[in-house]
Amino acid sequence: MSKLAILVLLFLSSTAAFGQNVLKVRGEVTGENGQPVPRASVVVKGTGTGAACDSTGNFVIMAPSGGTLIISSIGYAQVQVPVNGRSRISVTMSLQNNSTNEIVVIGYGSQRKGDVTGSVASINGDNLRAVPSANISDALQGRVAGVELASTDSRPGAAMQIRIRGTRSLNATNDPLIVLDGIPFPGTITDIDPSEIKSIDILKDASATAIYGSRGANGVILVTTNKGMAGQQPRLSYSGYAGFKKAIKYPLMNGPQFVKLRDAAGLYNKSYGTDEDSTKNIDWQDLLYTTGLVTSHDVNVSAGTDKGSYQFGGTYYRDEAVIPMQNYTRYSFHGSVDQGVGKFIRIGFSSNSNYAVTNGSDLNAGTTLSTTPIANPYNADGSLKRVVNMALDQNWVYTKQSLDALGDQHIDLTRAFSSYNALYGELKIPGVPGLKYRANIGVNYRQSNYGNYTGEGVFSSSATTPSTATISNSHTTNWAIENLLTYDRTFAEVHKINAVALYSTEQTTAWNSQVSAMDIPNDAFQFYNLGQAAGQITVDPNAQAYSQKGLISYMGRVMYSYNDKYMLSATLRSDGSSVLATGHKWHTYTAVSGGWDLTRESFMRNISAINQLKLRVGYGGTSNQSINPYQTLGQLSTYPYNFGPSDYVTGYYVSLLPNPSLGWEYSKTWNYGVDFSLLKDRLSGTVEYYSQKTNDVLLYVSLPATTGVSSVLQNIGNTQNKGVELSLNGVILQNKNGWTVEAGVNVYANRNKLTSLASGETEDVNNWWFVGHPIDVIYDYKKVGLWNTTDKNYQYLQDYEPGGTAGMIKVQYTGTYNPDGSPTRANGAADRQILNIQPNFQGGFNTRVAYKKADLTIVGVFQDGGTLISTLYGSSSYLDMLSGRRENINVNYWTPTNTGAPFPNPAGPINSNNPKYGSTLGYFDASYMKIRTISLGYNFAADWMKHAGIHKLRVYVTAQDPFILFSPYHKLSHMDPESNSYGTQNQAVSFYPSRLLVVGTNTPNTRNYLVGVNLTF
């Protein structure tokens, strides 16, 4: 009888167990405010079975009827819910500012944030989109410590320059590696649609970036896009916004102010141009600018089953500048499929494709800004003149009316198509728990077609200037194959081991061509048939190119954690690059880092105010091989030799000597960090210090003229970067009477230095490189004021400045003195100085205030110190000539009755059409604080939404760049205190190295006002 009872009991228990395995549980996860918690993780306790909530907080999972579900989400306290035989469960999660359990992407895997030992910073997609923008570089500015984003262009669609922990190289690239959904990304950052980003993780130190080898020498930006969720019901979502932009005008003189300036200068007050009238007051900027428009529309559909998921969608984005005919349009298409097959196999793919159209890139405000306000653009009948004649110059009448009237006479068009595709297959090795093999394949293509046509006399002072046309095409193909073997296990619940082995290979092929022609017979041809040109057709050999390069890599990484208390990570990587010389193609380097969470120790358990205190240290080496192919082989260039009026022969000469020893740039980095969380996780943050030394920096070494070649590329120089970073995040109020207040701030400072140059040289004056100083500096005179008759050394003015006058710029003298106090020489080139432009510190902040269903978000960025170069006030834009020849920036200039003015006497000495030492007028304290975004939103929740099938509805209004504070430059000019051009762009003449960023006569900055909606069905 006892045996029979045992058999019955065993049968009943097995039946119960079988029943538990077939229960389908549906659930809804919400926060304390009743809003859904999207993408929360749902796991059956004690098993590997899991699912994720969709965008409305719903999930479906197979679970035992007597099992327990573990629900977790970033920013919320973990919840365990018994199933108890229920098929439908509702879960409410409480906010918790504990970030140690967040999952961050670290490259070829992910890790609990509390286990990370390298320098990794993360931002999720929702926070990123708090700043609506065309690309992720705009949205990232000021959001991550140690990541500097600087504006290089103010035209629509332009991306920002990204520097992670400073500049390392002088001739190779300093741009970070971008990894999109696990595959190194060969395109540009403008090809990634911000609407589709789930998260961005930034690897900053060598112990974190070493896994990507030479490509990660300048840091790594890991971009993860949205995917469908397993068990998710089909969802259709829409996100969109639209708004307008108003130009921030350049601060120019009006008519009366300009006439007064011309009289003070005394050069052109008696030689007015034929179209100038001292009684006129024309605002040329008003005649040119229009109201810009910006709009974005994103539609997605996603769903999932127990074993798979998918997502497909598209985005339309258009940005119209305040300059007519200048705009940027992008069509983005994206899709992903993730599918499990049986117990051991998982396959999938993701695809991101873009088609972008850019119009009017050759247009800017330069001509408009230089036209005097007393020049009359209208004929007697009210029609526009073609040109206006000023005192010494003729300007084409550059207005929105004249641009709109061009029709076929002008076009500047770039059409670019790109497609980035990743496929993967994953196999769990049967019989070996935790071991799996994964193959990643990336196949990418990018093509760009550019065409420009400028009709006869267009933009020219001469009506007979021949028409010109140019076409250029570029193509880039890239493939990458990665083989990964991963072992991930936890032993005895305290020993976590993750090991990854990688073999990868990739190849990039690029080619481009360009043809230009003159005297196109009909405007209708534009650039579409250059063969019909009546004038010269040019195929410039220097504008045609083909290149191919490859990289082979081996990598191994092991991460170990004991009881979440002690953590260790070690990486070994070896890269072989085709662009380097034979015998120097391969380099192997290591990285190691460790962490210690003190709060896991017994002596910390009774300190309730400290919830986490983790110490980290890391050391690693990286390298940089980002130079153009064939640099090791030497190069030939062509030159035409004339043998008569119509006879010439093309000759060849050596333009680059071969270097059989060209190798890698090496960087070695130490990183020290402290992660902390205090006051029940209400305040958390990170403090880091790093030191990086880069050796064998690639430099062009000058050669004697007798060699016939000006320089050769060699591994010669050394640079150094050191810095500190602080990130803080706090929850000030947490759903107290419906109120929630959150705030975050990051501050960082980087000190960059050039430690050696070629052949022991201490300076390279032509490139503005000086040993012991930052890579980026200004080499110029230092303005110390203006000469005034009350100066104690005014009696020596003629010794300092022969022919000088009161009110001229006074620069710092660096020479010696005679016994009577007079200088032993006049000011000259020897007085040029090295001026530091590095900021003291910079960073950003964000604040979110929510009351029930309404919320207000503010995002800002700031900088203290440094030097802003404004060519508008200096000499190179010809807008501060102070002569009355052309329009002038509105400045307070010196006169005999205004001797305290900061700008010089218009009647003073002139050098190259500008006041002597006029370049020094363009250097400003670069300090500022800018409110980048203020956004006010409301999340609807009502019964009518359920009846309409609406799961989520949010509307918001946003103002971009509404306020600028604490900026000396803004106080003077009312302009944006950030750069908008490279050092050689948007100026009348070039004075600065291209790598320096300046304020030039580019498309003006704007203030934007948007209205948006997020809707999910």
State the DSSP string of 382-414: SPBPSEEE-SS-EEE---HHHHHTTGGGEEEEE
| H or E stretch at 932 | strand 928-940
Rounded CA-CA distance 958/939 in Å is 15
Burial class (CB in 10 A: 0-12, 13-18, 19+), 342: exposed
Q: Are 21 and 61 in contact (CB under 8 A)?
A: no
- pLDDT score, position 530: 95
Residues lower than pLDDT 50 in the chain: 1-20
Query: For the domain 103-225, what is the CATH superfamily, name and number?
Result: TonB-dependent receptor, plug domain (2.170.130.10)
Q: How many CA atoms lie within 13 A of 344 on its CB side?
A: 11
Stated as kind and residue range, the H or E segment containing 859 is strand 854-865
pLDDT at 252: 98
Query: What φ, ψ does residue 652 adopt, rounded to 5°?
Result: -120, 145
Which fold, 22-92? Immunoglobulin-like (2.60.40)
Encoding tokens for residue 175? 């741009």
Its pTM stands at 0.89
Q: CA 183, CA 480: separation in Å to the nearest integer?
A: 8
How far is the C-alpha of 987 from the C-alpha of 1002, rounded, in Å?
Answer: 9
Please give the C-alpha separations between residue 262 and each of 246, 372, 537, 876, 892, in angstroms, as whole numbers. 31, 11, 45, 20, 14
Q: What is the pLDDT of residue 97?
A: 53
The CA angle 686-690-696, to the nearest 5 degrees, is 150
- Assign 334 to helix, strand or coil: strand
pLDDT the model gives residue 100: 62
**Residue 612: half-sphere exposure toward Cβ, Cα within 13 Å:** 24
96 CB contacts (<8 Å, ≥6 apart)? 75, 76, 77, 681
Task: Report whether 161 contacts 152 (CB < 8 A).
Answer: yes
pLDDT at 21: 60
Domain ranges of the chain: 22-92, 103-225, 780-1016
Q: DSSP 3-state assignment of 20?
A: helix
> What integer pLDDT is reported at residue 63 of this predicted model?
86
Backbone angles phi, psi at 367, to 5 degrees: -65, -45
At residue 71, the 3 state secondary structure works out as: strand
